[in-house]
Structure 1
Amino acid sequence: MSVEYLQSFLKDLKALKQIASSKNDNFLLPGKERSLSLLKKSFSIGMEIVWTQHAEERQQQWEQRLGITQQEVEAVTTNPEQVIPDDEGILIAQSRRGNGLLRVPSVEIGSTKRILTVNMNSFNQVLESALQLTYGQQEMLIKILQNRYHESRRTEIAMDAQQTLDDSVRASFSTTHLRMSS
Structure 2
Amino acid sequence: MSCILLFNKPYGVICQFSRDGLHPTLADYIAVPDVYPAGRLDTDSEGLLLLTDDGKLQHRITDPQHKLPKTYLVQAEGVPDEAALEKLRRGVMLKDGLTLPAEAKLIEEPSQLWPRTPPVRYRKEIPTSWLELTIREGRNRQVRRMTAAVGFPTLRLIRWRIGDWSLDGLPMGEWRKV
- Under TM normalisation by the shorter chain, which class is it? under 0.3
TM-score of the superposed pair, with normalisation by structure 2: 0.24
Q: Which has the greater radius of gyration?
A: 1
> Whose strand fraction is larger, Structure 1's or Structure 2's?
2
Q: Which has the higher contact order (CA 8 A, sep 6+)?
A: 2
